[in-house]
Each structure stands twice: as structure tokens, then as C-alpha cells.
């Protein structure tokens, strides 16, 4: 994650955050927030979420910290914009991929299966890809990936549905939390924990830590890159009605610091950032404790949404980021590069998706031609790009007993599409650019 963008892709300034430094910050806040909950909550409340003793409390703290470290591990090159490019590419190519699977015949069941499973790609997101990485793709000893505990896997899910279940009106279903192809994995996790098929309570703490971290760290990176100034921040804070913002500004004499230009913008903002985190961690830990009954039932929003004060404070920094960072020339130029690189890589691997299963099996062999006598050397060169771990997952998914009700050719094609996305989404920004130049340059 060190060479994957948080906001600014292909960044050579080490002071600007990558996904790794962001994740470390989220993990720190997540641990801090969990410890606040444990210190404040009564034993009766903690028992309701499975924390019965000191060992459970330490385990819960570690689970949240690890979930925070892993929360962005599934992001493709170039972050959220990379997700959009992948979704757009699959939306545009759906008919071309569907046609050979139908084999010229009308098969309603097969068509429905394809449409359902295809949403893994047309609704692609880093959240389910991250779950896939830790539960499958890091295949070291067996098909269980990193072999994380059931509680750890459950706590990673901010969303509790597959792409088919997306519902923008339901907080936990705004996006997919896992792919259809990995549904059996999370189902076994929920069964082992004797949970309903909903979010784990500790995932709310992970989500809150992320909300706190990215709002503030993005502003700090913007200051580092000169995309906004202390005066920009002062003007936004001055217009805020938040009592927390006013108190922090007063305490730090932020008004005078800006007007008299006595303090460096970054130095001043770091003090603001620390004060905001400390204030909101206290508030959000209270919101978690107060809403444990609703959290257990998964009938509530995020902790930030439950706290008007927190929402009001973070909206100030989100407004600043939207105005000065996310639409800046630096970000938009990188999006042009991202679109070209990811689209180019997907186009390059496309021959492996438009062929049928028999030809793909020939490609995997050492033969230079398929059974019809056609050359397959180019496709074989592309196939050699894949990680051996990802190929093992492809074989496992193709033969998975839990998906036996899916037509074999559809099941195999979906596993093949995941193989390609696993390879591309696992690349860093710089490596994706390097692969693009190698594979796609004339």
C-alpha cells in the first residue's frame, strides 16, 4: 500500500500520504477509540458485544486495529478513481462477454446467472476486493488466505451485502462488502460466530476511525502540496457554527496566528488536527456505547452520522477538501493517467475473457496452438503475468462445491474475470504504469 495513492497518485514527496501511511493513522485512531469505549462502558454493555473479561477487551482492541490496517487493502491502482474505471470498462463490455457464453442459444437461466454474477465487476469496489485478498488471495498454506479469525474477518465488513443486495437507502448496503463469488466465505464466518448476516459491532469503530483520519489527513496533504493555505482553512472555520471548532480556534488563537502570520500553516493545522481527533474520539465513543442495542441489530447509521457534533466538524474539512483538493489540477491530471493505464491493461487482457473455456485451457497448456490450430502465443504471454497464488484461487473458485448450482461455463468465466481483476487491482500505481508501458506501448 506504500505506493498506492491516498489522494495524490504517483507522488514522489514522502511527506504526502500513501494508502499505507493513511492506514497506519486509521489503526492508531481505531485503537484509541476502542480503548475509550472499553474505559467508559459498563460491563453489562460490553458483554452484549461479547467482551466479558480483560482478555476479550485486549482482543477487541487488536481486532479493530487490524481491521483499520486492512480496510483499504483492496483498493486498485489510483484509488477510488481506479474503481470507477474498472466498473465503466465492464459495463461497456458486458454484451461482448455474454454472447459467447450463450453459444447462440436462448438460455434464460444462464443469462440470469451471468447478469447476477457480472455485478461483481460492474459494481466493483475495493471493499469486497479487500475481503477477497485476506480471505483467499494471500494463499500461503491453504485456500483461507491469511487465515484470520472469524471475528477479524467479520469486523472488516463495513457493508453486509453482495453487489446484488446494494440499497442506497440502507447504511450497511450502500456498497458491496463482498463479491458473490466469495459469499460462501462470509456465510461460514457468520455461522461460526452465530451471527445474523449483518455487520459486526466492532466494524463501526473501524469505520469511525477511517472517517476521522481521511477528512483531516487530506487537508494536511493539501497544505504540504500548496493547494490550500492556512487562510483558506481559517475562512472555513470562521464560517462554521460548530461549538467544537470555535473552542479549538479560540484555544489555539488561530485567528491571530493567521492574521499575524506567526505560525506556519502546517504547524498550526497539526495542533487543530490533534484537538479535533481528541474531541471526536470522546464523542464517538459515547455514541457507540449509547447505541449498542441498535448496533447489535445493525439498525443504525455510522457513528459519525449518529453524532451531530462530529458530522458538523468533519463537514468543514470535507468542504475544504472538495473545494481545494479533489477537483485540483494535480488530481485531475492523475485521473487522466489512471484512466489510460487501467483501461489499457484491461484491454490488453481482454483476449483472455472473450475466448471460451476450451481455448483458455489450451492457453494454460504448453502448446503453441489451440485445438483448432490457431496461435495462442500472445494469450500465453499474458497468462504468464498472473501470480501463482491467484491462479490457485482461480482453480479453487472454478471447482468450488458451494457454487455447484451455477452453470459450469458461467462459473468458470467469472473465476477467470476475477483472476484478471485480482492481478490488476493488486498492482501499485507505479507498477501499473510500468506494466502498461510494457504491455500496451507500441
pLDDT at 370: 81
Q: Which residues contact 17 (CB under 8 A, 6 or more apart)?
A: 6, 7, 25, 217, 220, 221
Ranking 229-238, 245-254, 347-356 by mean pLDDT, the lowest is 245-254
Interval 263-289: pLDDT, tens: 457 777 888 889 899 999 999 999 999
Length of the chain: 442
Contact of 314 with 214, CB cutoff 8 Å: no
Sign of the Cα torsion 40, 44, 46, 52 reads positive
φ, ψ of residue 253 to 5 degrees: the values are 50, 45
Contact of 236 with 230, CB cutoff 8 Å: no
Average pLDDT over residues 296-305: 89
**pTM for this prediction:** 0.91
pLDDT at 262: 42
CATH classification code of 202-329? 1.10.3410.10
Instruction: Using pLDDT thresholds of 50, 70 and 90, give the confidence band for residue 16.
Output: low
Interval 377-398: pLDDT, tens: 989 999 999 999 999 999 999 9
pLDDT at 416: 96
Contact of 166 with 176, CB cutoff 8 Å: yes
- The pLDDT of residue 202 is above 70: yes
Interval 324-374: pLDDT, tens: 888 888 888 989 999 999 999 999 999 999 998 999 999 998 788 888 888
Interval 203-230: pLDDT, tens: 999 999 999 998 888 888 888 888 888 7
Q: What whole-number distance in Å separates Cα of residue 347 and Cα of residue 377?
A: 17
Grid coordinates of 358: 476450451
Kindly list the domain boundaries of the chain, sorted by start residue: 202-329
Interval 105-134: pLDDT, tens: 556 788 889 999 999 999 999 999 999 999
- The pLDDT of residue 70 is above 90: yes
Closest CA to 57 of 37, 84, 86, 28: 37
Ranking 24-28, 51-55, 367-371 by mean pLDDT, the lowest is 367-371
pLDDT at 104: 57
Distance of CA 56 to the CA centre of its chain: 27
Closest CA to 153 of 209, 199, 208: 199
Interval 400-437: pLDDT, tens: 877 778 888 899 999 999 999 999 999 998 999 999 99
Amino acid at each position: 500500500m506504500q505506493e498506492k495513492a491516498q489522494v495524490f497518485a504517483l507522488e514522489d514527496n514522502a511527506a504526502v500520504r500513501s494508502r499505507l501511511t493513511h492506514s497506519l493513522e486509521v489503526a492508531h485512531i481505531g485503537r484509541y477509540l476502542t480503548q475509550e469505549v472499553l474505559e467508559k462502558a459498563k460491563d453489562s454493555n460490553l458483554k452484549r458485544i461479547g467482551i466479558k473479561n480483560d482478555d476479550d477487551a485486549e482482543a477487541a482492541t487488536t481486532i479493530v486495529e487490524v481491521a483499520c490496517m486492512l480496510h483499504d487493502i483492496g483498493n486498485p491502482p489510483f484509488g477510488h478513481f481506479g474503481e470507477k474505471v474498472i466498473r465503466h470498462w465492464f459495463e461497456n463490455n458486458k454484451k461482448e462477454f455474454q454472447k459467447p457464453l450463450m453459444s447462440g442459444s436462448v438460455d434464460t437461466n444462464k443469462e440470469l446467472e451471468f447478469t447476477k454474477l457480472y455485478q461483481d465487476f460492474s459494481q466493483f469496489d475495493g471493499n469486497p476486493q479487500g475481503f477477497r485478498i485476506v480471505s483467499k488471495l494471500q494463499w500461503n498454506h491453504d485456500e483461507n488466505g491469511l487465515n484470520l479469525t472469524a471475528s477479524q474477518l467479520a469486523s472488516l465488513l463495513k457493508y453486509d451485502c453482495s453487489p446484488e443486495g446494494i440499497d442506497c437507502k440502507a447504511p450497511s448496503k450502500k456498497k458491496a462488502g463482498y463479491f458473490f463469488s466469495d459469499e460462501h466465505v462470509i456465510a461460514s464466518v457468520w455461522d461460526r460466530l452465530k451471527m445474523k448476516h449483518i455487520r459486526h459491532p466492532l466494524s463501526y469503530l473501524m469505520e469511525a476511525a477511517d472517517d476521522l483520519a481521511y477528512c483531516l489527513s487530506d487537508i494536511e496533504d493539501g497544505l504540504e502540496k500548496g493547494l490550500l493555505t492556512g487562510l483558506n482553512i481559517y475562512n472555513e472555520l470562521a464560517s462554521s457554527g460548530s461549538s467544537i471548532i470555535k473552542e479549538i480556534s479560540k484555544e489555539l488563537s488561530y485567528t491571530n496566528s493567521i492574521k499575524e502570520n506567526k505560525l506556519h500553516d502546517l504547524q498550526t493545522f497539526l495542533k487543530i488536527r490533534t484537538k479535533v481527533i481528541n474531541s471526536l474520539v470522546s464523542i464517538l465513543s459515547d455514541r457507540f456505547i449509547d447505541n449498542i442495542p441498535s448496533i447489535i441489530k445493525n439498525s443504525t447509521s455510522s457513528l459519525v452520522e449518529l453524532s451531530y457534533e462530529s458530522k458538523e466538524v468533519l463537514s468543514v474539512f470535507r468542504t475544504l477538501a472538495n473545494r481545494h483538493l479533489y477537483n485540483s489540477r494535480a488530481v485531475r491530471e492523475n485521473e487522466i493517467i489512471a484512466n489510460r493505464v487501467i483501461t489499457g491493461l484491461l484491454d490488453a487482457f481482454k483476449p483472455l475473457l472473450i475466448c471460451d473455456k476450451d481455448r483458455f485451457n489450451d492457453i494454460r497448456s504448453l502448446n503453441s496452438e489451440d485445438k483448432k490450430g490457431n496461435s495462442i502465443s500472445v494469450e500465453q504471454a499474458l497468462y504468464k503475468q498472473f501470480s501463482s497464488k491467484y491462479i490457485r484461487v482461480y482453480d479453487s473458485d472454478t471447482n468450488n462445491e458451494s457454487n455447484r448450482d451455477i452453470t459450469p461455463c458461467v462459473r468458470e468465466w467469472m473465476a477467470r474475470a476475477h483472476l484478471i481483476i485480482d492481478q490488476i487491482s493488486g498492482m501499485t500505481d507505479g507498477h501499473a504504469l510500468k506494466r502498461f508501458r510494457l504491455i500496451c506501448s507500441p
